[in-house]
Amino acid sequence: MPDKTDEAIQRSVDYYNSSDTDNYYRRIWGGESIHVGIYDEPGIGIPEAARAAVTYLANRLDTLGPGSTVIDLGSGFGGPLRQLVTDYGCNGIALNASALELEEMAKTNQRAGLAEKIKPLEGNYEDIPLDDAQADIAWSQEAFLHCGDRAKLMREVFRILKPGGEFIFADPMATESAPVEVLQPMLDRANLVSFGTVAGYLADAKAAGFIDRGYVDRTEDFLTNYRTIVAETRDRHEELKQEISEAFLKKIGNGMQYWVDGGENGHMVWGCFHFVKPNGVGP
């Protein structure tokens, strides 16, 4: 793999295998999901908004249902996949580079009675450890910001999807005009190598062979999500520091505010992509 890919994978693994990171996300997001929520309902909380985001993305799909296989690329705690399996009757594959998150996810799946419906798979989405044409739907939420080679990512997703398969994902992205000096603190916040862009994802998906089914900008949800998190991190500081280091809380609090500032100043966007692999084509 290219050096940039190796670096991105290692940074992601280091970040999510940290006990401080794990504890923080469980306390703030509730232990099911660590993803940006949809805030269409007034007064909705972070965990509820995260569940609403799964429903929102699922409603854009045509083939989700009993018998379909969904691979979640960067599955985190596994909450979205458990929600999909429970609500829509599909089968799941949870791909994650973090052994810590996969281990905890498998325990939660077992307690929920979903161990037979969700297969944990350790690996990364730039070199997916699956044979060609194995999944009906590829799904991801806020995972590709950790990617080192997004063109290769698109080719890999295209390869493992069946003909007619769907690919849906959401990601925080930089705008084309965002200054490097503004982006760097945001990258540092989550141990990232680079951000994708809307134009970049669309171009890479087209080059891989996908049909574009539409991008929807939901940056206001991104801003609401991180404004809420900044406030909760501040208000719950005394509680959080019982299990999480002061240094981590300071770094992540400042980092989340950078993301809010980036969105408010037009340097970051968040939205959802939907692509389809054409019928009658190979990997």
Per-residue pLDDT reduced to its tens digit, 97-141: 888 788 889 999 999 999 999 999 999 999 999 999 999 999 999
Cross-strand pairs, 105? none
pLDDT at 166: 98
Assess whether pLDDT exceeds 50 at residue 163.
Answer: yes
pLDDT band for 150, please (50, 70, 90 cuts).
Answer: very high
Cα atoms in the Cβ-side hemisphere of radius 13 Å centred on 216: 15
| CB 222 within 8 Å of CB 263 | yes
Mean pLDDT to the nearest integer, 225-242:
90
- At the topology level of CATH, where does 3-276 sit? Rossmann fold (3.40.50)
Pick the more confident residue, 28 or 202.
202
Calpha distance 266→39 (Å, rounded): 20
Taking the whole predicted model, whether its pTM rises above 0.85 is answered as yes
pLDDT at 31: 66
- Please report, for the chain, how many H helices and E strands are present, in that order: 11, 7
Calpha distance 148→144 (Å, rounded): 9
Q: Order across the sheet with 91-96: list the strands.
A: 118-122, 91-96, 69-73, 135-141, 161-174, 268-276, 211-217
Assess whether pLDDT exceeds 50 at residue 2.
Answer: no
Q: Encoding tokens for residue 151?
A: 């063109």
Domain ranges within the chain, ordered by starting residue: 3-276
